[in-house]
Amino acid sequence: MTRELLIFRHGKSDRGVPSDDYHRPLKDGGKRDAQRVGVWLAQQGLVPDHVISSPAERALVSAQKACKAMGLYAGKISRDRRVYEAELNSLLEVLGECPDSSRRVMLVGHNPGLEGLLTYLADGELPVADNGKLLPTAAIARFIMPEQWAGLSEGCASLIALMRPRQLPKKFPFPDYTGTVLRDRPAYYYTQSSVIPYRMRNGNPEILVILSSQKKHFVVPKGIKDPGLSPQDSAAKEAWEEAGVEGKVMDPAMGCYRYEKWGSICTVDVYAMEVTAVVPEHEWQESHRGREWVSPEEAMTRLKQKELAPMVRALAEKLRAD
């Protein structure tokens, strides 16, 4: 069995944000570079079947962005603390534990560890960029590997490609990685899902509204549909993160609406969600937003997205009838 290894360094991080090294976030440009790498991998037919990432924020988010851009479910990324600040022996140990069934592995981490691994594995001279950097941020190296992941010796692998982000197109193909239309974000960004969270209180329906991330207006949970998740599961994930609630997402969708963003049109499927649990404030990821239970009539007037009003009305009528 031919095996391949993809060595992917995280995207450019934001050193201007007060944070320790482990929690340092990616810059927006670093996120886009990671997504461009994911699209390139999909276009080349190089989607990995096993992904290992350092759990440090800039590496893990890079792995997630790249995986989503190539259509993989980011929840299956294996997080391994040994990859963070790893020396060569630690990285070889991590690779040695890869499943025998894995044909193509992507390892996402940091320098100088990844450059050391790249130099160790390569059986020939390595292409250094004009600026003297071997593996700059968001660069990815592709190796043909020996038959076993364990016991990798020096010079045992053949370097097939070393792709740096400046070599990749700035825009993203649509409606998928084979498309000819170009957009500002990866194709999956434009398919979204949302929930209208509700509960019954003394025989009357109530709707949960939350403030937008900038606290400018009222919304209901909405987000990009994650590759690998159904629209309902993706919407439930947004409800957990944005509103701090869990519940049953009803099928089919109540309706959909469209809005303009990222230079094109996003389509949002909207589902009703019966809330069964409310996360305590201290456990709610985005508690800065604020949340409030209101009557359907008040929700219709408060929500910024006016297309939601008839859906809220129809939901209230159905609940009252039931």
What's the pLDDT score for residue 289? Answer: 86
CATH 3.30.70.270, applies to 3-167:
no
The pLDDT > 70 percentage for the chain reads: 98
Question: What's the mean pLDDT in 246-267?
Answer: 95
Q: What does the pLDDT average to over 241-260?
A: 94
Each residue's pLDDT tens digit, 94-146:
999 999 999 999 999 999 999 999 999 998 878 776 567 899 999 999 999 99
Which of 24-38, 48-62, 239-253, 278-292 shows the lowest per-residue confidence on average (mean pLDDT)? Answer: 278-292
Query: In the chain, where are the structural domains located?
Result: 3-167, 187-321
Least confident of 214-218, 274-278, 289-293: 214-218
pLDDT at 262 over 80: yes
Report the pLDDT averaged over residues 192-206. Answer: 95
> Mean pLDDT throughout 174-189?
94
3-state secondary structure the chain: CCEEEEEEECCCECCCCCCCCCCCCECHHHHHHHHHHHHHHHHCCCCCCEEEECCCHHHHHHHHHHHHHCCCCHHHCEECHHHCCCCHHHHHHHHHCCCCCCCEEEEEECCCHHHHHHHHHECCCCCCCCCCCCCCCCCEEEEEECCCCCCCCCCCEEEEEEECHHHCCCCEEECCCCCCEEECCCHHHHEEEEEEEEEEECCEEEEEEEECCCCCCEECCEEECCCCCCHHHHHHHHHHHHHCEEEEECCCCCEEEEEEECCEEEEEEEEEEEEEEECCHHHCCCCCCCEEEECHHHHHHHECCHHHHHHHHHHHHHHHHC
Average pLDDT over residues 66-78: 95
CATH architecture of 187-321: Alpha-Beta Complex (3.90)
Percent above pLDDT 90 for the chain: 85
The mean pLDDT value for 201-214 works out to 90
- Average pLDDT along the chain: 93
